[in-house]
Amino acid sequence: MATASTGRERMRRALEGKRADRPALAYLFLGGARHVLERLGERMHTAYRDPQLIADAQMIAAELFEHDSAMVPWGCLTIEAEAFGCRLREYDDYYPQIAERPLEEAADLGLLDDPDPAQSGRMPLVVEALTRLRERAGDDLFISAMVVSPFLVAAELRGMAGLLMDFIRDPAFAEALFERVTEGTARYLKAILQTGACDAVLFENAGATRDMIGPHHLAQFVRPYHDRLVAVMRSEAPDVFVIEHNCSDRPYFEEILESDVDAVSFAYVDERSIQAKHGWDCHAAHTRANACSERFCLRPSAEESAIARIGNVDHTQIILSAKPDQVYREARACIENAGASPFVLSTGCEIPFKAPIENIRALARAAQAGY
């Protein structure tokens, strides 16, 4: 039997489609934050302003929940937007939210700041936290950095409704905005990679969903700029894994699988296509407090490339409200349906703040039960 002495090695083997001593278990953002922050003795708004506390929180999460990976930053999607000029509203125990957008009232790129990863907003904190986390974790944990896609950053700067209207009324402005955002985000990405701390970069791209944009706008505005960031990463750090995260209900899943990524972290595929092909409503089945036993989303066809799947235990109803044995059964269904394909067990997105700790730990029990 293949062995893996550390979570870092276990994750790498899983993403490469190789078996280890057991399935790998990935941690997303700051899942189950209540338990982590209680152990840390800090409120969230204090912790995410201190690079040492950011790193310490991830180490505590690994101890509490026995995941094989850690992530910096947490699930805050405003780091890039703040560096471009958004003003934030902060909360004691939740991520900061956008209070003012520089482009909400005027389509004027001159209103944007030019991010400098060494001094803009919380970008320097993220870079420093990654370094400190690697120093603490050593080779024990697989570390991912999270970077927000140009589409979501642009939406934060302009407002989602305004950006979608620009796609139709002023596509030239939309493209200029995407150019500016991609350039600034690429500088941030390079600073992250230059730490040498990362095993992977997870690109948050949940806006690429059929419920929001059509395939023509995906092709014109979303994928080209996202792909440019991936190309920067491949050039700067070819050995670092590229993971795309999309937890929307109807992601452009097939298009993701056609892009240059090593893994996709997801909650659902397009459940309508599963129902049409297999006669099974995967979305409805696995959000009940009962395992979705027919997880067709984890069964790649023979012609698909060997892109790893990361997921996809329901992170809302199951983790939050079910019993631990139901969480265990759901997780085991994921493992068993993945078969021999490249797979990492995880939740579809961040575990809720107040999820019961017994439910979170049931994920580790499922992974430790083996293949």
Helix ranges restricted to H, the chain: 7-15, 33-40, 44-47, 51-65, 79-84, 123-137, 150-158, 160-169, 171-193, 215-217, 223-236, 253-257, 271-278, 282-286, 317-321, 324-338, 357-368
Pick 258 or 279 by higher pLDDT.
258
Pick 108 or 297 by higher pLDDT.
108
d(C-alpha 282, C-alpha 69), whole Å: 27
Of 75, 45, 83, nearest to 58 by C-alpha is 75
Distances (CA, A) of 11 to 15, 32, 67, 124, 224: 6, 21, 10, 27, 29
Lowest mean pLDDT among 202-206, 221-225, 235-239, 285-289: 285-289
DSSP state at residue 110: G
Q: What percent of the chain has pLDDT over 70?
A: 93
Contact 318, 332 (CB under 8 A): no
Per-residue pLDDT for 1 more than 60?
Answer: no
* Structural domain spans, the chain: 7-368
Pick 224 or 258 by higher pLDDT.
224
Per-residue pLDDT for 302 more than 60?
Answer: no
Give me the pLDDT at residue 323, please: 92
Contact 215, 251 (CB under 8 A): no
Across 309-318, average pLDDT: 88
Give me the pLDDT at residue 251, please: 81
Pick 95 or 130 by higher pLDDT.
130
d(C-alpha 19, C-alpha 366), whole Å: 16
Residue 16 CB neighbour total at 10 angstroms: 13
Of 249, 103, 251, 260, nearest to 178 by C-alpha is 103
Give the pLDDT band of residue 281 (cuts 50, 70, 90). Answer: confident
| 322, two tokens | 């079910």
Q: Does the domain made of 7-368 have the CATH classification 3.20.20.10? A: no
Backbone angles phi, psi at 130, to 5 degrees: -60, -45
Give me the pLDDT at residue 206, please: 81
Per-residue pLDDT for 98 more than 70?
Answer: yes
Of 82, 84, 81, 94, nearest to 30 by C-alpha is 94
Give the pLDDT band of residue 289 (cuts 50, 70, 90). Answer: low
Give the pLDDT band of residue 292 (cuts 50, 70, 90). Answer: low
Give me the pLDDT at residue 194, please: 97
| 132, two tokens | 């400190």
Per the prediction, the chain carries an average pLDDT of 90
Under 8 Å CB-to-CB from 211, ≥6 apart: which residues? Answer: 248, 249, 250
Per-residue pLDDT for 303 more than 60?
Answer: no
d(C-alpha 342, C-alpha 262), whole Å: 10
Across 186-199, average pLDDT: 98
- The pTM score is 0.91
Give me the pLDDT at residue 153, please: 96
Across 161-188, average pLDDT: 96
Give the pLDDT band of residue 255 (cuts 50, 70, 90). Answer: confident
Under 8 Å CB-to-CB from 345, ≥6 apart: which residues? Answer: 23, 24, 25, 26, 311, 313, 331, 334, 335, 363, 366, 367
Per-residue pLDDT for 300 more than 70?
Answer: no
Q: What percent of the chain has pLDDT over 90?
A: 65
H or E, element range at 241? strand 241-246
Q: What are the residues facing 347 on neighbouring strands? A: 313
Lowest mean pLDDT among 98-102, 114-118, 215-219: 215-219
Give the pLDDT band of residue 5 (cuts 50, 70, 90). Answer: confident
pLDDT, tens digit, 9 for 90 and up, residues 220-252: 989 999 999 999 999 999 999 999 998 887 788
The CB-based long-range contact list for 168-173 (8 Å cut-off, 24+ gap) reads 170/107, 171/220, 171/221, 173/107
pLDDT, tens digit, 9 for 90 and up, residues 328-358: 999 998 998 888 889 999 998 999 989 999 9
CA angle (204, 207, 210) in 5-degree steps = 135
Pick 285 or 163 by higher pLDDT.
163
pLDDT, tens digit, 9 for 90 and up, residues 51-85: 999 999 999 999 999 999 999 998 889 999 999 99
Contact 312, 297 (CB under 8 A): yes
Helices 171-193 and 150-158, axial angle in degrees (round to 10): 120
